[in-house]
Amino acid sequence: MGPRDAALEALCALEGPSERLEGGARDILDWPSMPDERDRALAVQLVQGVMRWRARLDWIIARNLRFPFGRIEPRVLNILRLAVFQITRMDRIPASAAVNEAVKQTRASAKPHIAGFVNGLLRGICRGGVPTAFPDRKRELLRHLAVVHSYPEWLVDRWLKEWGMPAAEDLMAAGNRLPDLTVRVNRMRIGRSALIRALADEGVAAERTAYSAEGLVLRGVKGGVERLKTFREGCFQVQGEGAQLFSQLLGPEPGERILDLCAGVGGKTTHLAERLEGRGLVVAVDLQQRRLRALQAAARRLGVAGCIHPVAADAVAGLANVFRTRFDRILVDAPCSGLGVISGHPDIKWRRRPEDIGRLARLQLEILQGAATLLKEGGVLFYGTCTLTREENEEVVAAFLATRPDLVQEDLRARAPKGAQALIDANGFLEILPHVHGLDGFFGALLRRRGGDRARIPGRLG
């Protein structure tokens, strides 16, 4: 499968039930469907580019139509989006090549006359059909911003009301920036300065992150990081700078028993295990076996598999029946609307709906209530999200604490690393804002259960 065909299939898969680039869409873009790294990179660039600029691409297409935009079949529309993205935003691809590939894709999946329509529309755009005018900013501010920055109107409206101008527009612009490649140094294997030197020997420039003392931003990586010797030897893990702070703020200590709910593929799980220095236990819970297998592979590469115990379980349903012990520390990296990480996952713009926010807030509260039953007296729980909504962040914490008088919020200003102090707000929460701090958006709160001492509670896993 060529990169344009793979991109088309991925875009069509993203119209279905799969989440972000996981499931069907991610499988299409993964090896062995495309063993050539350059093809894979182009396919990913095409998919993310279309998702990042979809509203603007649709505006260009609509302005060149002689019939209503809604009459275009979904698959044909994705073919057009791919071609218009290449024509308008990819200098290295000749416009003629983009048009020819789009016509070929249309012939393979639609009636012959549709291919003629695609050919004519795209050649018209190449001849100067890219509109230079957008909806009038003064008369149609909402629509103007939605097209110029390529966001759904409901989200533009929400951010205008919450943030006002110009912060809302700055936030949209931040979501359209290409994210840096950030990694976390595996301190059990190598120091940060030594890793910088080792990466330089492999032709990769690295600079220290601004807020995390364990992060590096990589420049000049050709192909995937998997090709690097330092990666294969477990010297680092790909992980965003904001996400690195979750484990740092939870503060696990050697010998402790840690529970990582919603563990995913293990970025935070392996970080927790590294900080235990081989002494202690991290129980990683996730509903999907596929994610747990990826987690175990990462743990083996990083040399921390010995203290990680993966468990396939639902973080909502009856955790007290799964475990016969309590934990010193619990990390709840909750499923959320993801509105803080749009730069790396631009499809979130189009896959989220306004009603998702309330639904996810209720789910987050259920997960916290289940997690609290497993927290020892004197233990701490870190609740984190990668979104910017008060409903999923401060309001979830307030609603949870209202039902649990035995828990109290701790002010993160008292324990945040010196470099991360600027990311703690006046209420003691972690608050990372893409348009302010130049990172993905994250929220975090640390909660302590009253009573008890800091001695570990003996017990066993169920």
Average pLDDT on 278-286 reads 95
Residue 94 lies in a domain: yes
Residue 58: predicted pLDDT: 97
Residue 31: predicted pLDDT: 54
Nearest to 212 by CA among 127, 271, 269: 271
Residue 29: predicted pLDDT: 67
- Verify that 314 and 443 share a domain, yes or no: yes
Residue 247 lies in a domain: yes
- Verify that 125 and 209 share a domain, yes or no: no
Residue 25: pLDDT band with limits 50, 70, 90: low
Residue 461 lies in a domain: no
Residue 188 lies in a domain: yes
Catalytic residues: 386
Compute the distance between CA of residue 131 and CA of residue 134 in angstroms, rounded to an integer.
7
SS3 (DSSP) at 331: strand
Residue 136 lies in a domain: no
- Verify that 232 and 381 share a domain, yes or no: no
Compute the distance between CA of residue 156 and CA of residue 163 in angstroms, rounded to an integer.
10
- pLDDT value at 19 more than 50: no
| C-alpha torsion angle, residues 452, 330, 370, 387 (rounded to 10) | 130
- Give residue 344's domain range: 241-449
- Verify that 165 and 207 share a domain, yes or no: no
- Verify that 102 and 150 share a domain, yes or no: no
- Verify that 277 and 362 share a domain, yes or no: yes
Nearest to 58 by CA among 180, 128, 148, 120: 148
Residue 26: pLDDT band with limits 50, 70, 90: low
Residue 455 lies in a domain: no
Q: Is the pTM here over 0.85, yes or no?
A: yes
- Verify that 191 and 275 share a domain, yes or no: no
- Verify that 188 and 171 share a domain, yes or no: no
Residue 69: pLDDT band with limits 50, 70, 90: very high
Tell me the per-residue pLDDT of 183-230, one tens digit each, with 9 for 90 and over.
999 999 999 999 999 999 999 999 999 999 999 999 989 878 999 999
Rounded to the nearest angstrom, the gap between the alpha carbon of residue 320 and the centroid of all alpha carbons in its chain is 29
Tell me the per-residue pLDDT of 402-418, one tens digit each, with 9 for 90 and over.
999 999 999 999 999 99
CATH number at residue 229: 3.30.70.1170
- Verify that 112 and 88 share a domain, yes or no: yes
- What does the mean pLDDT of the chain come to? 92
For CA atoms 120, 121, 122, 124, give the dihedral sign. Answer: positive
- Verify that 226 and 191 share a domain, yes or no: yes
Residue 457 lies in a domain: no
- Verify that 392 and 270 share a domain, yes or no: yes
- pLDDT value at 171 more than 60: yes
Residue 16: predicted pLDDT: 61
Residue 431 lies in a domain: yes
Q: How many domains does the chain have?
A: 4
Residue 260: pLDDT band with limits 50, 70, 90: very high
CATH number at residue 287: 3.40.50.150
Last residue of a domain, one of 238, 255, 274: 238
- Verify that 165 and 189 share a domain, yes or no: no
**Side-by-side strand order, sheet with 205-208:** 205-208, 215-219, 181-185, 236-238
Residue 457: pLDDT band with limits 50, 70, 90: very low
